[in-house]
Amino acid sequence: MAKIKKSFFCQHCGYESVKWLGQCPSCGQWNTFVEEVIDKGSDKTDWKNYVPGTDRTNKVISLHDIVSNEEKRLATRDAELNRVLGGGIVSGSLVLVAGEPGIGKSTLFLQCGLQFTNTKVLYISGEESEQQIKMRADRLTANSNATTNENFFLLTETSTQTIFQEIKKLKPQLVIVDSVQTLQSPVIDASAGSISQIKECAAEFQRYAKETGTPVFLIGHITKEGSIAGPKILEHMVDVVLQFEGDRHYAYRILRTFKNRFGSTSELGIYEMTDVGMRGVANPSEILITQKEEQLSGTAIAATIEGVRPLLIEVQSLVTQSVYGTPQRTASGFDLRRLQLLLAVLEKRGGFHFGVKDVFLNIAGGIKVEDPSIDLAVLCSLLSSYEDVPLGQAICFAGEVGLSGEIRAVNKIDQRIAEAEKLGFEKIIVSKYNQSLKNLSRFNIEVICMGRVEEVYQYLF
């Protein structure tokens, strides 16, 4: 009998060591090393007999001998999912999808599998029984006029050896695994969800996807800090990393791309959770802007870009007199350090005394924005609440604010202006340093070009 091999793994980052360590040399965490069996020896070759395509032998080939073909993509009926994947599902791709419990990961991909027409889909679940999944599928298709995929197959199993036996019989065209943390390989003598099990199971599905050209979706868990559970190498192994964001107590969800070998990494899809599943939102600007009957101070509209999609979002601010010794600074959906920077610019360049004020900032709709082009809207929202004077409902902003108080140019300004015009805005304030703003007569919206924060304040107030 072969010797059993053991190793120590950091449960935080996946660092491997031959002996126990108090502090992880990789991530610096203390007391995170756990011993795991990584090789039982006698069972090592059994599972390989069931992995389709593992009998293929690879050989050295010249780069010039490889014929470059266009990537074959499997288009889904979900336009938002197609967008974040870069145009559809690429053959042989391995996609990791992570999100909080109850946010809708299983619902979205069960719905996606049921909507295919001529594609054989295998849905593998290690968390739910057949009856639970059947009940959810009935709910998703109850009020749908579309026909349900007759080639949709279900397998409730956690052993990868059994899974690959069934895959070899069925030969599916798409595999969905819910979730990778529940899988267990017979090669590793460790509990499901451990570092070594996650690495081995993901490696087996990666080998299967690349050898057979079958796309695989791995649904994953996240930790309490918000990062994807398991070793960091899991994100390096897969081709695409998607993450669900948004509060599960709200109806809207955001599917964001963090890594994509076949498309842009700055795309996002917006969904609305309904009683019949996830519904893609075609025009997210309408849901991100609150419909109000009266004008309120502290509200400004920003024109931002997420990937290739222009969005108009609402920035809300509240500036009040501080009743404690140290003024509070709270930001939701916006970088707190960026907010402090903009407050310092207003204090230094404009002479506004925000040092004795509590400042609260919120991006409406639960969306998180990293685009610096919303700086001008944040700044005008703060000034509106400071002066208690509402801004006009027909005006929006697009510009980055520098430390000296100048309004810097932003990219794709034409798309931002066109989106504001489409939604009925009458004015948009942008930087006068944008080089592409040569012919403003082609827009039916009034484009106001300014270069300093002081000019904007004088124009608005």
- 102 annotated as ligand-binding: yes
- 99 annotated as ligand-binding: yes
- 168 annotated as ligand-binding: no
- 105 annotated as ligand-binding: yes
Query: Is the backbone of residue 169 left (phi > 0), alpha (psi -120 to 50) or beta?
Result: alpha
Residue 427 neighbours by CB distance under 10 Å: 15
Q: Which helix (H) or strand (E) holds 318?
A: strand 309-321
- 103 annotated as ligand-binding: yes
Distance (Å) of CA 51 to CA 139, 236, 444: 34, 22, 60
Tokens of 403: 């430390």
Between CA 306 and CA 312, with CA 307 as vertex, the angle to 5 degrees is 25
Q: Is 116 exposed, middle or buried (0-12, 13-18, 19+ CB in 10 A)?
A: buried
Residue 152: closest CA among 173, 129, 121: 121
Residues 423, 425, 431, 437, CA torsion sign = positive
Q: Is 250 in contact with 211 (CB distance < 8 Å)? A: no
N-to-C CA span, the chain: 83
Secondary structure (DSSP) of 422-450: HTT--EEEEETT-TT-S-GGG-SSEEEEE
Q: Is 395 in contact with 427 (CB distance < 8 Å)? A: yes
Residue 221: closest CA among 368, 105, 311, 361: 105
Instruction: Name every residue whose Cβ is closer than 8 Å to that of residue 414 and which is 6 or more positions away in sequence.
Output: 436
- What are the helix (H) ranges across 116-267? 130-142, 160-170, 195-212, 233-237
Residue 378: closest CA among 413, 340, 425: 340
- 392 annotated as ligand-binding: no
- 101 annotated as ligand-binding: yes
Helix (H, G, I), strand (E, B) or coil at 22: coil
From CA 252, how far away is CA 288, in angstroms rounded? 10
- 163 annotated as ligand-binding: no
Binding residues: 99-106
Binding residues for ATP: 99-106
